[in-house]
Amino acid sequence: MNLTRRDFLKVGAVGGVGATIFGFDMAPAYAQMRELKIARATETRSTCPYCSVSCGVIIYTLGDKAKNVTPQVVHVEGDPDHPINRGTLCPKGASLEQDILNPRRLVKPQVRRPGSDHWEDIPWDKAIDEIGHWVKKTRDASFVDKDAQGATVNRCEGLSWIGGCTDTNEFNYLVVKTMRSLGVCYLENQARV
């Protein structure tokens, strides 16, 4: 077989075709490689958190679920059975694995004090106590029970809430109930999941 340099590069680019030209059928080997990568992984169906299209994804996790084993995400891809995206993901959704396995991801609360130029770590208990303290103080200071015409309104004008696209419908339901019970009327979310 006479292969020009151009033919050789073309063959290299399409891998499996090249293997056939050289007399080997590599298809079973490629199939085996693809299977091995996720063969022992657990499949978890989820939703891309990035935008309101809400594409379905499958998250592959290694780990035998034993108590002393930390599950490890090894691959994320579009869910072919999902009616919205049918297996496809845009570049942002396709990078989801890097969102999960990112050393810069925040996993503990932080606070920036008034006048400070930096964020500091804070324990969860202290963070929750401080949030409760400031919510009450702000609500007490900004609660309006009657408007200018004397109508009862019972609203808190000093607090607002904004939710993110990763919040589930159930989470948003609880948020709205909680915020309404405080009298908060400025609230928004991206309910879709």
Q: Is 100 in the site for ligand SF4 (CB under 6 A)?
A: no
Which region holds residue 75: left if phi is over 0, alpha if psi is between -120 and 50, else beta? beta
CB of 96 to ligand SF4, least distance (A): 8
Q: Is 55 in the site for ligand SF4 (CB under 6 A)?
A: yes
Per-residue contact track with ligand SF4, 76 to 95, x per CB under 6 A? Answer: ---------x---xx-xx--
Q: Tell me how crowded residue 124 is: count the other CB atoms within 10 A of its CB.
A: 9
Residues 159, 138 contacting (CB under 8 angstroms): yes
Q: Name the closest residue to ligand SF4 (Cβ).
A: 93
Nearest CB to ligand SF4, comparing residues 85 and 189: 85
CB of 175 to ligand SF4, least distance (A): 21
User: Can you tell me whether residue 44 is helix, strand or coil?
Assistant: strand
Q: Is 51 in the site for ligand SF4 (CB under 6 A)?
A: yes
Nearest CB to ligand SF4, comparing residues 92 and 113: 92
Integer CA distances (angstroms), 73 to 43, 44, 117, in order = 10, 10, 35
CB of 89 to ligand SF4, least distance (A): 4
CB of 193 to ligand SF4, least distance (A): 10
Q: Is 45 in the site for ligand SF4 (CB under 6 A)?
A: no
The neighbouring-strand residues paired with 158 are none
Residues 187, 171 contacting (CB under 8 angstroms): no
3-state helix vs strand vs coil in the chain, percent to 5: 35, 25, 40
Kindly list the residues in this chain that would bind ligand SF4 in the complex (CB under 6 A).
48, 50-51, 53-55, 85, 89-90, 92-93
